[in-house]
Structure 1
Amino acid sequence: MKKTLLSALALIALGGVFQSCNKEASEPTATQTSQSKTSAGARNAAQEEEPAISGSLRSDSLALVDLYQATKGDNWHHTNFWLSEEPLSKWYGVHVDQVGGQPRVVGLYLGANQLKGTLPASIGQLTALRRLHLQYNRDLTGSLPESLFNLERLVSLRLRFTSLTGELPAAIGKLTKIDTLDLSNSQYDLSMWWDGDPKTAKEHRPNLKTLSGSLPKEIGNLKKAHYIDLSFQGFSGELPKELGNLTELKYLALYGCQFEGTLPESLGGLKSLVYFSAGKNKFSGAIPSSLGSLPELRNLLLSYNQLSGEVPASLGNLKSLQILNLEHNQLSGRIPAALTGLTSLYQLYLNGNKLTGIIPADLGGAQQPNLIWVDLRDNDLEGHLPARIKQFVPDAKGMKHIAELPEFGYVLFAVSGNRLSGLVPQEYLSYPKTLKLLLPQRGAGFTNLKNDGSLVK
């Protein structure tokens, strides 16, 4: 009885969709009417750019019905007009526009809508789709459908914080129009705050790194990409050198995965890159000197890896760099004096390495007017503390997470766990609350400051 009823409802719904298709085709929206007035020359140019595609609004509607049924649409947060006789453009999260002179589904926005189940293979029938946003649907499970990578018009694919599984296939290289690719997971594991109440268990499940495998070299085909975020997933293996082909990429986040091997020199080809995060992986070997040739880079975050060798002096060429985080690696050698030329820098993290030698005297000097935090803790540095130059930072709101920041404008050095010696300058001693960042020191220590923070009399 139940199956018969469901079948009947499905037939009714399909009938409504077919009517919706006819209505959509016969009653163009205001947007469609406006677009129909576009000059013939512009239409011809667009057709040259965009080859004819298969499918129709009817096939789009069938794919949407499949998605609704496969992901328990009756339980979605928002179902406005779904499976009704209203035009598809009125269905919640569905955007219809003219493609090749015909109305087609070009956008599907169902983020945080409580989809539960697997993506049907028929999603590949949405051949005109440009934006697919299904992020924050934690109960969206199963593997990525192969047909998903046939949607060659996709510009934006957002699947963040879902439970989709599997590997990225070589077919991802067919998505050559992609601007935004977000497959990341959440960094917050809410399970640690669960109080045992069964009613809230679902909201406090542990995070699972569901996507896995190595990145295919075909990812280098996504040459129009500006934003790629694969953070907090189970991706592993070495980064393909073809990643360096993405010359328009501005944001690349690989934090919290299981990547290994060396960072490829080809990353120096990412000339538009502004943000690069690859911390908390298993990268080893030297930091590529080619990273010093990225003129737009503002954030270089490579912490918690197994990187070794010296800090490349070429990083001193990054005049736009604001945050350099290389903490907790196995870096050795001296701090390159070239880092004192990073005139836009305001945070520097080199703590937890094996650095030796002295702290460059000009680090945090007048040529670095924005630098307010230098973390050099737990290395093997020696010599004296550098002089502290009064800085005038216009906006320190972004530094609130640094609890030790005083209200004055000196560069704040954290240098405990090294072999520094000599006199602690008076400008340090004038602010006792920050002395804990200097202590303890190994070896002889400071001549006027004990490791317990008291002054030598």
Structure 2
Amino acid sequence: MGNLKKLSSLSLYYNSFNGTIPEELFKNQFLEQVYLNGNQLSGSIPFSVGEMTSLKALWLHENVPSGVLPSSIVNCTKMEELYLLDNQLSGSLPETLSEIKGLRLFDATNNSFTGDISFSFEDCNLEIFILSYNDIKENNLSGPIPPEIGNCRSLIWLELGSNRLNESTGAGGTVGLFALYGQTLR
């Protein structure tokens, strides 16, 4: 597939593909949408994902990739949708994630992310930010809820429940739907 240089959309969702996520796929600078969800793809998300400078939608949910979310994802400056739920990703969420200014939808439910939510929400366009949904398997994030999240004026859905987050002060702003299912604020 690495030779399909003019390919702009790839939809291979809900098939029976298995094996590792092919690195050469992520070297196509013209791909705008990649839908690989609902397969049995494993291994790590290749660092070369950052070479996809035209990428707007990446759906990798319901696979079995493991490892960390590569920090090179910040180079996908046109990214609008990033669905990573129901995988085996771990480590911290990259601080650089907030540098993708066009990111509207982010769902990383049912992974094993740890650490705090350390990226900034200033000047963000997020509409949906989900790290836990209806108490399915939680991530293991801790620390305060970033007060800058209140500055994210376009946010209509926020799910952070079933983690180990602390209350933050001075969040300000209005969030249309602020769901903290199963969350104990201290």
Is TM-score (shorter-chain normalized) higher than 0.5? yes
Identical positions, percent: 34
Q: For residue 243 of structure 1, what is the aligned residue in structure 2? A: 73
CA distance in 2, matches of 1:335, 1:293: 16
Cα deviations across residues 259-317 of structure 1 (Å, max 9, x unaligned)? 00000111011100111111111000000232x03521100111121000111111111
Determine if contact 1:252/1:276 at 8 Å carries over to the other structure.
yes
Q: Does the Cα contact within 8 Å between 2:97 and 2:119 map onto a contact in 1?
A: no
Give the CA deviation at 1:149: 2.1
**Contact kept? 2:67, 2:91, Cα under 8 Å:** yes
Task: State the SS of the aligned residue for 2:66.
Answer: strand
Tell me the distance in 2 between the aligned counterparts of 1:305 and 1:239.
14
TM norm structure 2? 0.92
Q: Secondary structure at the match of 1:243?
A: helix
Amino acid corresponding to residue 268 of structure 1 in structure 2:
S
Quote the residue 1:341 is aligned against.
Answer: 173
Aligned counterpart, 1:305: 139
Aligned to 1:293: 122
Q: How many aligned positions are there?
A: 181
The equivalent residue for 1:273 is: 103
Establish whether residue 166 from structure 1 lines up as the match of residue 19 from structure 2: yes
Q: Which residue of structure 1 aligns with residue 37 of structure 2?
A: 184
Higher relative contact order (CA 8 A, sep 6+): 2
Cα shift at 1:232: 0.8
SS at match of 2:30: coil
Closer, same or farther in 2 for the Cα pair 1:244/1:353, shift >3 Å? same
Matched, 1:155 2:155: no
Question: Following TM superposition, by how much is the alpha carbon of 1:152 offset from its aligned partner in structure 2, in angstroms?
Answer: 1.6
- For 2:63, the equivalent position in structure 1 comes to 233
In structure 2, what is the equivalent of residue 258 of structure 1? 88
Structure 2 distance, partners of 1:294, 1:158, is 31
Q: Is the 8 A contact 1:271 1:293 kept in 2?
A: no
- Decide whether the 8 Å contact of 2:114 with 2:139 is kept in 1: yes
- Contact 1:241/1:264 (8 A) holds in 2: yes
> Amino acid of the residue matched to residue 148 of structure 2?
S
Return the alpha-carbon distance in structure 1 between the equivalents of residues 160 and 144 of structure 2.
11
- Please list, as runs of the form range in 1=range in 2, the aligned pairs for 1:67-216 lying within 5 A after superposition: 148-185=1-38, 210-216=40-46
Larger Rg: 1
Alignment root-mean-square deviation, CA = 1.4
> Runs in 1 of length 4+ with deviation above 4 angstroms?
none
Write 1 or 2 for the structure with the bigger share of strand.
2
TM-score of the superposed pair, with normalisation by structure 1: 0.39
Q: Deviations over 1:363-414 (max 9, x none)?
A: xxxxxxxxxxxxxxxxxxxxxxxxxxxxxxxxxxxxxxxxxxxxxxxxxxxx
Amino acid across the alignment from 1:228: L
Rounded Cα–Cα distance in structure 1 between residues aligned with 2:97 and 2:24: 22
Q: Secondary structure at the match of 1:346?
A: coil
Task: Report whether the alignment pairs 1:324 with 2:158.
Answer: yes
Contact residue 154 and residue 177 of structure 1 kept, 8 A:
yes
Note the alpha carbon deviations across 1:41-96, whole angstroms, 9 max, x for none.
xxxxxxxxxxxxxxxxxxxxxxxxxxxxxxxxxxxxxxxxxxxxxxxxxxxxxxxx
The residue number in structure 2 matching 1:355 is 185
Gaps of 5+ in 1: 1-147, 186-208, 357-457
Distance 1:243 1:220, change over 3 A: same
Partner of 1:220: 50
Whole-Å Cα distance in 2 between the matches of residues 166 and 150 of structure 1?
20
Q: 1:302 corresponds to which letter in structure 2?
A: L
Please say if residues 173 and 221 of structure 1, whose CA atoms lie closer than 8 Å, have aligned partners that are also in contact: yes
Residues in 2 aligned to 1:150 and 1:228: alpha-carbon distance in whole angstroms: 20
Partner Cα separation in structure 1 for residue 147 and residue 130 of structure 2: 16
Counterpart of 1:242 in 2: which secondary structure?
Answer: helix
Matched residue, 1:133 = none
Answer whether contact 1:313 1:336 (CA < 8 A) is retained. yes
